């Protein structure tokens, strides 16, 4: 990231982005798209391949949503969107199952052969496989060359979103600039 007036914050954000994307002792090849940009929040969908430094292993695929506070440099996790002690993973899977054809997300690397079962058996919050948009969240999993996921409107999640939480307020409290 370049061009911020606060160069200290810019350095913090860049260091946090590097730490979130690059495993240590590796190099990376990939691409990204901005999924959400507001005054205080930037969401980036990054995908590519990670290579270890000595080049002896097969490259590892990486696909990650990164959501960063442009005021503090903090990177948000999917847990930050939901109420504490709520089993949001299972609730999300229930919503996806009952709205399979309506909420199914198709990305350029998606295939038509994936099923809800592919998604449900592999999506886990620990993978940080989520992308924030102005009106919805995309949850997805990547297996081999297949990306499976769902674009769920926030209105479907209103009972489990932490509406007093910092991340929700960042999403809702600013002008939306979806790209």
**Average of per-residue pLDDT values in the chain:** 82
Q: How many residues are there in the chain?
A: 179
Return the higher-pLDDT residue of 166 and 23: 166
- In 7-78, which ranges are E strands? 26-37, 41-52, 60-69, 75-76
Given a cut of 50, whether residue 176 has pLDDT beyond it is no
Given a cut of 70, whether residue 138 has pLDDT beyond it is yes
- Residue 17 has a pLDDT of 82
Contacts for 130-135: CB closer than 8 Å, 24+ residues apart: 130/65, 130/78, 131/35, 131/43, 131/45, 131/65, 132/35, 132/36, 132/41, 132/43, 132/65, 132/67, 132/81, 132/171, 133/35, 133/36, 133/43, 133/178, 134/36, 134/171, 134/176, 134/177, 134/178, 135/176
Residue among 145, 154, 150 at smallest CA distance from 130: 150
Q: Are 128 and 76 in contact (CB under 8 A)?
A: no
Question: What is the greatest pairwise CA distance in the chain?
Answer: 48
Return the higher-pLDDT residue of 15 and 142: 15
Q: Are 73 and 16 in contact (CB under 8 A)?
A: yes
Mention every residue, 6+ apart, whose C-beta is less than 8 A from residue 88. 78, 79, 81, 82, 125, 157, 160
């Amino acid at each position: 990231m370049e061009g911020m007036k606060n160069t200290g914050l810019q350095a913090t954000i860049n260091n946090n982005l590097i730490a979130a994307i690059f495993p240590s002792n590796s190099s990376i090849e990939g691409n990204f798209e901005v999924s959400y940009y507001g005054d205080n929040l930037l969401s980036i969908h990054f995908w590519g391949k990670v290579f270890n430094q000595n080049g002896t292993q097969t490259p590892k695929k990486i696909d990650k949503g990164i959501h960063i506070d442009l005021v503090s440099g903090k990177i948000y996790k999917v847990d930050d969107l939901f109420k504490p002690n709520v089993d949001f993973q299972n609730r999300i899977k229930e919503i996806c199952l009952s709205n399979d054809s309506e909420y199914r997300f198709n990305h350029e690397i998606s295939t038509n052969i994936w099923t809800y079962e592919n998604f449900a058996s592999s999506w886990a919050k620990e993978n940080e496989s989520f992308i924030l948009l102005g009106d919805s969240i995309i949850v997805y999993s990547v297996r081999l060359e297949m990306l499976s996921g769902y674009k769920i409107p926030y209105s479907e999640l209103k009972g489990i979103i932490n509406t007093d939480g910092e991340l929700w307020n960042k999403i809702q409290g600013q002008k939306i600039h979806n790209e």
